[in-house]
């Protein structure tokens, strides 16, 4: 996933994909933490705590994918908001904000506590309900792509995106970039709806 992220970023903004020595260790620890979460999820599945729907139902795939995106976006918004406003948590999250000018590597510059926190949210979400296996795969691909696009310096979203009735509710590169420049706003990941509801959007 990291290799794919970097290759895609190099295609979009080649000059903004240099990994400095300071960030290298955080990228590696994030990889280790995500591997641990994956193995933990596999064990939870083996013990029957995570149940996966393997039916080929198109309706199930569509509804489960949409539900996963909404559920994860809300949980991650709450987690992200708390990361900024809990006194003990912000020093941990502050590591990610050392990247005021973002790049693809910003996605992986996270404290292990925060990486594991996001991982636990993910495992908790897929434990709540039995999601279709294709929905899980689709969600993970979309999550990776949005993580990459959200941390690029180049805004890949066209102008109409910010004005369209439906698209204006979907997060953009600029939306998350503004969060890195003004940390008191824009805590959402995939949608802007939670920031509008809680009046934290700009």
Q: What is the model's pLDDT at position 201?
A: 84
pLDDT in tens, 108-155: 999 999 999 999 999 999 999 999 999 999 999 999 999 999 999 999
Calculate the average pLDDT of the chain. Answer: 94
Q: Give yes or no for residue 91 having a pLDDT over 80.
A: yes
Structure tokens at 19: 């990994």
Cα 80 to Cα 93: distance, rounded to the nearest angstrom:
9
**Which structural domain range is residue 15 located in?**
2-156
Among residues 45, 46, 124, the alpha carbon closest in space to that of 78 is found at: 124
Residue 194 lies in a domain: no
> Considering its fold, how many domains does the chain have in total?
1
CB atoms within 10 A of CB 39: 10
**pTM of the predicted model, to two decimals?**
0.93
- Containing 132, the helix (H) or strand (E) segment is strand 131-132
Residue 181 lies in a domain: no
Residue 35 lies in a domain: yes
Q: What is the model's pLDDT at position 43?
A: 97
Residue 61 lies in a domain: yes
Mean pLDDT, range 49-60, rounded to an integer: 94
User: Which pLDDT band, with edges at 50, 70 and 90, does 159 fall under?
Assistant: confident
What's the maximum distance between 2 C-alpha atoms anywhere in the chain? Answer: 48
Residue 200 lies in a domain: no
Residue 129 lies in a domain: yes
Residue 95 lies in a domain: yes
Q: Give yes or no for residue 36 having a pLDDT over 90.
A: yes
Cα 90 to Cα 69: distance, rounded to the nearest angstrom:
25
Q: Give yes or no for residue 7 having a pLDDT over 80.
A: yes
Residue 168 lies in a domain: no
Q: What share of the chain is helix, strand, coil (3-state, %, to 5)?
A: 70, 5, 30
Structure tokens at 7: 């290759």
| Residues linked to residue 52 through DSSP beta bridges, in sequence order | 131
Cα 30 to Cα 28: distance, rounded to the nearest angstrom:
5
Q: Are 115 and 33 in contact (CB under 8 A)?
A: yes
CB-count exposure of residue 45 (10 Å: 0-12, 13-18, 19+): middle
């Amino acid at each position: 996933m990291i290799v794919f992220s970097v290759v895609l970023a190099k295609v979009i903004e080649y000059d903004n994909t240099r990994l400095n020595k300071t960030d290298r260790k955080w990228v590696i620890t994030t990889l280790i933490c995500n591997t641990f979460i994956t193995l933990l999820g596999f064990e939870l599945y083996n013990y029957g705590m995570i149940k996966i729907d393997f039916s080929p139902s198109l309706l199930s795939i569509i509804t489960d994918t949409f539900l996963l995106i909404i559920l994860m976006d809300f949980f991650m918004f709450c987690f992200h908001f708390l990361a900024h406003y809990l006194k003990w948590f912000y020093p941990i999250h502050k590591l990610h904000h050392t990247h005021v000018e973002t790049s693809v590597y910003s996605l992986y510059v996270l404290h292990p506590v925060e990486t594991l926190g996001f991982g636990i949210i993910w495992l908790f979400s897929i434990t709540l309900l039995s999601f279709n296996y294709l929905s899980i795969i689709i969600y993970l691909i979309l999550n990776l792509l949005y993580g990459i696009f959200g941390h690029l310096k180049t805004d890949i979203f066209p102008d109409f995106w910010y004005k369209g009735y439906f698209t204006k509710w979907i997060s953009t590169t600029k939306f998350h970039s503004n969060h890195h420049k003004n940390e008191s706003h824009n805590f959402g990941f995939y949608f802007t709806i939670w920031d509008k509801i809680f009046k934290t959007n700009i």
